[in-house]
Copies of this chain bind each other. A is one copy, B any other.
Amino acid sequence: MSTQSAAPFPQPTDFHVYDTTLRDGSQQEGMRLTVTDKLRIAGYLDELGVDYIEGGWPGANPNDTAFFAAAAAGELSLKNATLTAFGFTRRVGGKAADDPLTAALRDSGAAVACVVAKSHDQHVLRALRTTLAENLAMITDTVTHLVAEGQRVFLDCEHFFDGYRENKAYATEVVRAAMEAGAEVAVLCDTNGGMLPPWVSAVVAEVAESTGARLGIHAHNDSGCAVANTLAAVDAGATHVQGTINGYGERTGNADLVPVVANLELKYGWQLLPAGSLAEATRLSHAIAEVTNVPPSNRQPYVGLSSFTHKAGLHASAIKVDPNLYQHIDPELVGNDMRMLVSDMAGRANIQIKGEELGFDLSDRDLAAKITDTVKEREAAGYTYEGADASFELLLRDELDQLPVFFVARSWRVFTQSITREGDPERELDTEATLQLDAGGSITRVVGEGNGPVNALDHALREALLPVYPVVERFELSDYRVRILDQGHGTDATIRVLIQTTDGMRSWTTVGVGQNVIDASWEALAEAYSYGLLRSGAGQG
């Protein structure tokens, strides 16, 4: 590729890719992750192959505490990454050994503790309201205690760059205190995010020189330079980079980890993730966006839907000559695609691989091309198959004429009503669904009640299917997610519903799309039952 460059210097022998999506990323406005969300995201991050996953702040809030308990109980099994717990230095005037939050960190089950300490003198004096000496003692005490208890420790130096500008000696002392107490890495944090690359490299180089410490970088995007600031720190000797998937985070967000890693792998020629993992980046970035329910930006570097999309007429014919004249990297290297159609899975090769995974022979090029066209067409209409494996298999089987028809809905109707009577503080809220279903050769008419329209439809469908397919008793809807696709139109917009269903052994996800949330939900619901019946072997008779 013409834009590739030789590495400015060789890859360091030990380099950490450290993800803080579950901690700092979750500080983003509007983001609220459940324990289940965090477990799913951690699984995706592990698949991407990051070295460290910062799971949260145990002891500080019940959600994070529950996440570490679930991980320790075996609900999270990591192949590549090391789970890390975040926490503060012990309280002012206390002892680390007696500090409940230090205990929560120590007992979190995480092999690594990432301890954040103040390194800006004004923050120590005015926000923490203690002496500069006590802050250093807090660092020494906390790190020493955790290391003695068998935990590896990284130290996040909060507000380091601003602090270094105000009081170079004190900020440097914080790094020294941490390293002397046994911390492995001192992570220099641009907490307020206002730095620019030349300032970051100058400070990192100076601190590396004056302390000899192993340094890391934690950047925020307030000046629009988080990725560049991270690279500038690496150029100056940092060997630990912190960031979040999709650049999630408070204010303008953290350094977006995918472009950081992709730049280092594809432009420096380093190998940081397990071989082949970077090519999963687009899929995993989008899968995580499905969990956070934050619509991804189409313009996101490397993984955005538009990031290798060409519109300019003057490029169109030249792209045919050689696409590499018009793209900075081969998009396949990050699992993205040059075509402009709305497709995450895009290309035929992906569909073939996916089909083979599911046990279908798609080696026929015409057949694979036909299915690819169908997928693209449906993705352009708003369907997503990235997060909806079950709907993808149903689509594939439908195209291959291998999909049994388990039931056909002749009609359904749902109504919800709310009545407030004068003088009566209790409001009446009712929902009812009626369904006429053709299953097993006869037509059934059922009525379902529920606390919501989809719940009522679910009850009705279940009741109608039960006599014919008793296995549906085991099906349970475990997740229901709605996203508006084209914003700017309010309730007129296209709506996508994802439903996750479990039979107690495994779970599967289906998708429905429409302008009507109930109709889109019905589509996903019907596919959820069809797929469950298919898996249970109900179609074999």
Instruction: Write the residues of chain A forming the contact surface with B, with a CB cutoff of 8 angstroms.
Output: 2-3, 5, 8, 27-30, 32, 34, 36-37, 60-61, 88, 120, 122-123, 126-127, 159, 161-162, 165-166, 191-199, 221-225, 227-229, 231-232, 235, 247, 249-253, 256, 259-260, 262-263, 267, 293, 295, 297-302, 304-314, 318, 321-322, 325-329, 340-341, 345, 384, 386-387, 408-420, 422, 429, 431, 450-455, 458, 476-493, 495, 498-501, 514-519, 522
Question: Contacts A325-B126, A326-B192, A329-B194 known; A166 to B2 CB distance under 8 Å?
Answer: yes
A88 vs B312: C-alpha distance when bound (angstroms): 13
User: Closest B-chain residue to A246, C-beta based?
Assistant: B299
In the complex, what residues of B have CB within 8 A of residue A88's CB? 314
Question: Contacts A29-B311, A429-B519, A453-B416 known; A458 to B490 CB distance under 8 Å?
Answer: yes
Does A491 lie within 8 Å of B192, measured CB to CB?
A: no
Question: Contacts A165-B3, A223-B263 known; A481 to B479 CB distance under 8 Å?
Answer: no
Does B482 lie within 8 Å of A482, measured CB to CB?
A: yes
In the complex, what residues of B have CB within 8 A of residue A386's CB? 29-30
Question: Contacts A27-B312, A32-B384, A162-B2 known; A307 to B222 CB distance under 8 Å?
Answer: yes
Does B413 lie within 8 Å of A223, measured CB to CB?
A: no
Does A490 lie within 8 Å of B483, measured CB to CB?
A: no
Does B452 lie within 8 Å of A516, measured CB to CB?
A: yes
User: Closest B-chain residue to A5, C-beta based?
Assistant: B199
Can you name 10 A-B residue pairings with CB atoms under 8 Å? A29-B305, A197-B232, A222-B307, A225-B225, A252-B304, A452-B518, A453-B453, A454-B517, A458-B490, A482-B517
Closest CB-CB distance, A196 to chain B, in whole Å? 6
Question: Contacts A295-B488, A517-B454 known; A29 to B340 CB distance under 8 Å?
Answer: yes
A5 vs B500: C-alpha distance when bound (angstroms): 46
Considering residues A340, A412, A490, A501, which has the most beta carbons from chain B within 10 angstroms of its beta carbon? A490
Does B452 lie within 8 Å of A309, measured CB to CB?
A: no
Does B484 lie within 8 Å of A481, measured CB to CB?
A: yes
Does A477 lie within 8 Å of B452, measured CB to CB?
A: no
Does A197 lie within 8 Å of B228, measured CB to CB?
A: yes
A420 vs B409: C-alpha distance when bound (angstroms): 7
In the complex, what residues of B have CB within 8 A of residue A325's CB? 120, 122-123, 126-127, 159
Does B223 lie within 8 Å of A301, measured CB to CB?
A: yes
User: Closest B-chain residue to A263, C-beta based?
Assistant: B223
Closest CB-CB distance, A40 to chain B, in whole Å? 10
